[in-house]
Chain A
Amino acid sequence: MKKLKVLIVDDSSVMRKIIERSLRQAGLDLSEVLEAGNGAEALTLLQESAPDMILSDINMPVMDGLEFLKSLANVEKAKGVPVVMITTEGSEARVVEALSAGARGYLRKPFTAEQVKERISPLLAGSL
């Protein structure tokens, strides 16, 4: 199984750790976990690093997840990288907006490790 580099974008360090743990519990072999507290920080990280997957919260200060997602179209190191949005909102409209803007999936908080596996694994089929 290929080791994966993931970028987790969330303004809560607690949620970033929980998401990382859930990915490991879902069976992903993570070689590196990049963390950013908002979309702007994530864009800075993407100038240097190309992850295999990006997981991003939607509701964040400075640059929210939807703005970040739309910005990824211009980021070379994010080309073809699956993005999964993580939302507390439960708003279908925001999920549709995210999927229309290029997200490959979404996950609603609160989530279980099983739900993470269901949503994430199919997106990495080519990488594993």
Chain B
Amino acid sequence: MKPSVRHDKTAKVAMDPSWKTILEQATVEVFEMMAGARLEAAAISDSAAGGEHTAMVGLAGALCGMVTLRCTRQVAHRLASMMLGGEAAENSFTAKDALGELCNMVAGNFKAKISTLADRCMLSVPTVITGSDYEMDTVEPTSGISTRFTFEGDPVIVALMIHA
């Protein structure tokens, strides 16, 4: 009899070094497909401020944590106008909604590229916070990866925080 392999849906998936590249690919694809926006890779040492809008999408299941997407107000408005046309440029609610959806799609695209996560990790609906002076703490210790881009000269930072 052939042995069968069953995936335990509750088993945690450990972070893999390849995930940084996958997160970068997932981000670039989403920005190009949904906004026609071309992101440029930025040096890790580039310590420019991240911006005052942060979109967050929670992960639960085989991977618990959060994907965040942070950029300036100007970038958020510019991306919204590229996604929807000029009418979105002045609307703050629309800019934040667009940023939340981009973060949601980055998180979904990221996990879809990892076969051990696709069916075993759920996403929350996105949340967007405004303000640059904040710290994020979690009850569980976390590890994570961060990838930094520039868009039209301004920073765009995508991060994956994973609960241990």
Q: Do residues B84 and A18 form an inter-chain contact, with CB atoms below 8 A?
A: yes
The stretch that binds B, out of A43-51, A74-82, A107-115, is A107-115
- Please tell me the size bucket of the interface on A: 20 to 34
Given A60-B125, A88-B104, A88-B107, A12 and B97 contact (CB-CB distance below 8 Å): yes
The stretch that binds A, out of B38-46, B116-124, B133-141, is B116-124
Interface residues of B in 53-86 (CB under 8 A from A): 80, 83-84
Given A11-B125, A18-B34, A112-B33, A88 and B105 contact (CB-CB distance below 8 Å): yes
Given A14-B101, A110-B109, A89 and B84 contact (CB-CB distance below 8 Å): no
Chain A residues proximal to chain B, CB less than 8 Å: 11-15, 17-18, 21, 59-61, 87-94, 108-112
- Residues on B with C-beta less than 8 A from A17 are 84
Q: Do residues B101 and A92 form an inter-chain contact, with CB atoms below 8 A?
A: no
- Residues on B with C-beta less than 8 A from A88 are 104-105, 107-109, 123
Given A13-B94, A14-B83, A14-B101, A89 and B125 contact (CB-CB distance below 8 Å): no
Interface of A (DSSP majority class): loop
Interface of B (DSSP majority class): helix
Partner of B80, one of A14, A21, A60, A108: A14
Q: Do residues A109 and B100 form an inter-chain contact, with CB atoms below 8 A?
A: no
Complex: chain A residue closest to B94, CB-CB? A14
- Residues on B with C-beta less than 8 A from A90 are 108-109, 111-112, 118
> Complex: how many Å from CA A52 to CA B118?
32
What would 6 more interface pairs be, CB under 8 Å, given A14-B98, A87-B108, A88-B108? A12-B97, A13-B94, A61-B125, A89-B118, A89-B122, A90-B112
